[in-house]
């Protein structure tokens, strides 16, 4: 599957099928810090991603001093 | 497949802190309910009051503005141009686009045009950390925009993660003066408008999800000045704890509000009594000239 990552923007190819949580574990990402976007919606941790899927893994942490 | 807690349809997001998952409609409902509860519990906004939302083009402020408008509040936005290259151009464009789409009013201030400096060069000239010059400018100019425009309250997009991270930093240094002021509502007095943070019951991940599910375009890229700052480090540390035990951030922050914050307020209140108008701009200050006017002088010399 195609995985788009942000900050910096880059694309990875990850073999599917794979559950979202397993994908995040593989990328060593904390599930509290990202969202997984498929099309114009989101997918939950247990969703199964197929080999021909395209997803975006978007970081949600923003941070200036407040 | 995970099911929505409310309607049992297919879920699109799980929130481990609440041990719940939601479909799109029920998630948007959940966000509005959390904001409604914060506004009610902390008496943030009274009926008929005019609200000025501090808009940065990021997920939190655009989501907050969207929720307040949907709830029927009289809410305008204010955007401050910081002059931080592409980041500022993009964030301005996103803020403008949202305002146009909603037909909402956006007050626009440009540091460079209106005060003669921008954050990257001005902070260097003034020998300040960019985020400190930026935070000071935002606080001052949002207050001023609210007073000038006759608004009752300034609303900012600080979410649960922001507040927990700031609290964590303040506790690590036992900054008791800051601890006394870290409240979801700061009353309007001594020439300051009331300041409220209606997103304190919602996490950062929920705000990003809200924007995605509502089709709101926001700036995903980080401000380049944020890199390596302590605030981000605190957030990562707290998220590492949260992943092991969901709910930790909320327990930390709301436990502080319920059981500890009152111990620190007398000091903060005492600091507010000595205020007099800045000799240059008239804003309330403890010195002769306020910190912002001071910054302008140093940043433009
Ligand atoms: S990261 Fe710092 S400089 Fe950038 S917007 Fe936030 S406070 Fe301002
Ligand atoms: Zn539902
Ligand atoms: Zn001044």
Q: What is the pLDDT of residues A25-57, one digit of tens each?
A: 999 998 889 999 999 999 999 999 999 999 999
pLDDT tens by residue, B187-241: 998 889 999 999 999 999 999 999 999 999 999 988 988 877 888 899 989 999 9
What CATH number does residue B188 fall under?
3.40.50.620
Quick check: A1 and A18 in contact, CB under 8 A? yes
Pocket of ligand 1 (CB under 6 A): A 64-65; B 82, 119, 130-131, 134-135, 223, 225-226
Distance from CA of B112 to the nearest CA of A (A): 20
Helix H or strand E encompassing A13? strand A10-13
B228 is a domain residue: yes
pLDDT top residue among A62 and B139: B139
Distance from CA of B246 to the nearest CA of A (A): 9
A26 is a domain residue: yes
pLDDT score, position B267: 74
Residue B212, judged by CB atoms within 10 A of its CB (0-12, 13-18, 19+), counts as: buried
Residues belonging to chain B? 301
- The values of phi and psi at residue A8, to 5°, are -85, 160
- The values of phi and psi at residue A13, to 5°, are -110, 120
Distance CA(B239)–CA(A47), nearest Å, equals: 22
**Which chain B residue has the Cα nearest residue A61?**
B204
pLDDT score, position A64: 52
Distance CA(A58)–CA(A33), nearest Å, equals: 8
pLDDT score, position A65: 43
Cα distance from N-terminal residue to C-terminal residue, chain B: 62
Number of folded domains that form chain A: 1
B21 is a domain residue: no
Read off the tokens for B146: 């609210």
Q: Does residue A19 have a pLDDT over 50?
A: yes
Read off the tokens for B64: 């907050």
The residue segments making up the domain with residue A7 are 2-59
Which of B222, B81, B71 is closest to B145 using CA atoms?
A: B81
pLDDT score, position B230: 85
The residue segments making up the domain with residue B184 are 45-262
Q: Does residue A13 have a pLDDT over 70?
A: yes
Number of folded domains that form chain B: 1
Distance CA(B231)–CA(B132), nearest Å, equals: 12
pLDDT top residue among B164 and A63: B164
CB pairs under 8 A between A and B: 103
Say if the Cβ atoms of B165 and A58 lie within 8 Å. no
Residue whose CA is at the smallest distance from ligand 1 atom 2 = B131
Is B225 in the A-facing interface, judged by CB distances under 8 Å? yes
Quick check: A62 and A46 in contact, CB under 8 A? no
Quick check: B13 and B209 in contact, CB under 8 A? yes
Which of A30, A17, A6 is closest to B236 using CA atoms?
A: A30
Helices (H), chain B: 24-41, 59-70, 85-102, 111-115, 119-125, 130-149, 160-172, 176-181, 204-214, 230-244, 248-259, 265-272, 291-299
Portion 26-45 of A in contact with B at CB < 8 A: 30-35, 37, 40-45
Considering every ligand atom shown, identify the ligand nearest to the alpha carbon of residue B219 and give its number.
1
Q: What percent of chain A has pLDDT over 90?
A: 76
Q: Which residues lie closer than 8 Å to B286 by C-beta, 6 or more apart?
A: B271, B274, B275, B276
> If you average pLDDT over every residue of chain A, what do you get?
91
Say if the Cβ atoms of A46 and B2 lie within 8 Å. yes
A64 is a domain residue: no
Say if the Cβ atoms of A42 and B132 lie within 8 Å. no
B111 is a domain residue: yes
A66 is a domain residue: no
Q: Does residue A10 have a pLDDT over 80?
A: yes
Residue A39 Cα, ligand 3 centroid: separation in angstroms? 49
pLDDT score, position B266: 80
Residue A19, judged by CB atoms within 10 A of its CB (0-12, 13-18, 19+), counts as: middle
| Whole-Å CA distances, B187 to B40, B90, B137, B151, B197 | 15, 33, 20, 14, 12
A38 is a domain residue: yes
Say if the Cβ atoms of B220 and A35 lie within 8 Å. no
B268 is a domain residue: no
B70 is a domain residue: yes
ipTM of the complex: 0.93
A25 is a domain residue: yes
For the entire predicted model, the pTM comes to 0.95
Helix H or strand E encompassing A59? strand A54-59
A12 is a domain residue: yes
B-interface mutation test, from A31, A32, A59, most B Cβ less than 10 A away: A32
Give the number of the atom of ligand 1 that is nearest the alpha carbon of residue B131: 2
Say if the Cβ atoms of B231 and A64 lie within 8 Å. yes
pLDDT score, position B229: 80
B181 is a domain residue: yes
What CATH number does residue A29 fall under?
3.10.20.30
- What stretches in chain B show pLDDT beneath 50? none
């Amino acid at each position: 599957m195609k995985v788009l990552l942000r900050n910096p923007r880059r694309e990875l190819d990850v073999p599917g099928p794979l559950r979202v949580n397993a994908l995040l574990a593989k990328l060593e990402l904390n599930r509290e810090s990202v969202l997984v976007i498929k099309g114009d919606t989101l997918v939950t941790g247990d969703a199964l991603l197929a080999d021909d899927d395209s997803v975006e893994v978007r970081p949600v942490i923003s941070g200036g001093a407040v | 497949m995970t099911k929505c807690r409310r309607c049992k349809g297919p879920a699109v997001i799980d929130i481990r802190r609440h041990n719940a998952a939601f479909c799109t409609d029920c998630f948007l409902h959940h966000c509005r309910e959390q904001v409604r509860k914060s506004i009610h519990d902390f008496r943030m906004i009274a009926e008929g009051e005019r609200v000025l939302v501090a808009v940065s083009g990021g997920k939190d402020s655009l989501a907050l503005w969207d929720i307040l408008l949907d709830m029927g509040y009289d809410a305008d936005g204010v955007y401050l141009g910081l002059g931080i290259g592409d980041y500022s151009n993009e964030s301005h464009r996103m803020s403008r686009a949202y305002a146009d789409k909603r037909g909402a009013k956006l007050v626009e201030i440009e540091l460079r045009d209106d005060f003669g400096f921008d954050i990257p060069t001005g902070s260097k000239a003034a020998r300040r950390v960019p985020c400190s010059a930026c935070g000071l400018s935002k606080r001052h100019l949002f207050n001023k925009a609210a007073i000038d425009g006759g608004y009752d309250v300034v609303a900012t997009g600080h979410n649960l993660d922001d507040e927990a991270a700031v609290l964590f930093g303040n506790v690590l240094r036992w900054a008791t003066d800051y601890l006394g002021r870290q409240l979801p509502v700061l009353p309007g007095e001594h020439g300051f408008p009331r300041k409220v943070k209606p997103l304190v019951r919602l996490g950062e991940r929920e705000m990003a999800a809200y924007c995605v599910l509502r089709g709101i375009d926001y700036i995903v890229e980080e401000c380049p000045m944020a890199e390596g700052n302590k605030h981000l480090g605190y957030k990562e540390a707290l998220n590492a704890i949260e992943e092991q035990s969901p709910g930790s951030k909320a327990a930390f922050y709301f436990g502080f509000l319920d059981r500890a914050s009152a111990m620190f307020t007398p000091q903060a209140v005492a600091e507010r009594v000595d205020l007099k108008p800045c000799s240059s701009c008239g804003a309330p200050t403890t010195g002769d000239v306020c910190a912002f006017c001071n910054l302008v002088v140093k940043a433009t010399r």
